[in-house]
Amino acid sequence: MPDFWKFFLLLLMSAVIIAAWSMEPPQNQLGEVSRLFYFHIPVAWVTALAYFVAMSHSVLYLRRRELLYDVKASSAAELGTLFCVLATITGSIFAKMTWGAFWNWDPRQTSILILLLIYGAYLALRSAVREPGRKAALSSVYCIFAFPAAVFLIFVTPRAYQSLHPASSVIDTSGRIQMPAPILVTFLASLICFTLIFIWVYTLQTAIGRNRLSERKL
């Protein structure tokens, strides 16, 4: 990542942090805890993004059989795990403050837990296979195969069962965004920041993986 982007990220992230703590809480009836909104949703978004990146590179690996795609897929999955843990923790704190318990099997909590389990199983599978080509092929297949299950859990289950998760407060049922302008701007800036952090760490990780690959060839 060019240096310009790193400085941009530094400034934007500082601005987001200052704005998130100095402005009014985004939802007054929920109080101070609703400031988590600026961090929880971007982290959850990166989790889904990382999974999608891992899945699409798995498809590319199976098509072209180049280990670099596997490096890209597994780096995305490792980073996704980290962001998934963060999303789960911030979500649990929110749940404790608003619903009274850290964990109460809300459909949203269930779906994030399953995403975490999928990532965990993917990494367990990788450590259980030694030969690199076979490791890459099997974990790619698993990543693709888990995708329909994740779609079921993220899109079908929360709509089929009642959820306490605030969704209508961000985007209402007609699909329009219902937020005052300063809150929306801070939220979008935070979304950009977390995506940039993901891209930054992801490029570093794939660079490390690429070096390891060329070492092995030597």
Partner 1 sequence: MEKKSSSLVYKGWCIFSKDLKSELRNRYALNALLMFAVTTLVAVSFAVGQFGLGENLLAALFWIVIFFSALSGLAQTFIKEEETKTASTLKLVASASSIYLGKLTFNIALLLALEVVIVPLFFLLSNVGGANLLLFFAVLILASLGLAAATTLIAAMVSKAAVKGALFAALSFPILLPLLVTAIQGTELSFKGEAFMSGFSELKVLLSYLVVMLVASLMLFDFVWSE
By the criterion CB under 8 A, which residues form the site for partner 1? 62, 114, 117-118, 120-121, 124-125, 128-130, 133-134, 137-138, 140-142, 144-146, 148-149, 152-153, 156-157, 160
Residue 177 pairs in a beta bridge with: 171
Q: What is the closest distance, in whole angstroms, from the C-beta atom of residue 120 to partner 1 in the complex?
A: 7
50 versus 146: smaller Cβ distance to partner 1:
146
19 versus 141: smaller Cβ distance to partner 1:
141
Q: What is the closest distance, in whole angstroms, from the C-beta atom of residue 106 to partner 1 in the complex?
A: 13
CA distance 15 to 53: 28
Q: What is the closest distance, in whole angstroms, from the C-beta atom of residue 124 to partner 1 in the complex?
A: 5
DSSP codes, 122-184: HHHHHHH--SHHHHHHHHHHHHHHHHHHHHIIIIIHHHHS---S--TTTB-TTS-B---HHHH
120 versus 180: smaller Cβ distance to partner 1:
120
Distance in Å from the first CA to the final CA of the chain: 27
Q: What is the closest distance, in whole angstroms, from the C-beta atom of residue 71 to partner 1 in the complex?
A: 18
Give yes or no for a contact between 111 and 48, defined as CB atoms under 8 angstroms apart. Answer: no
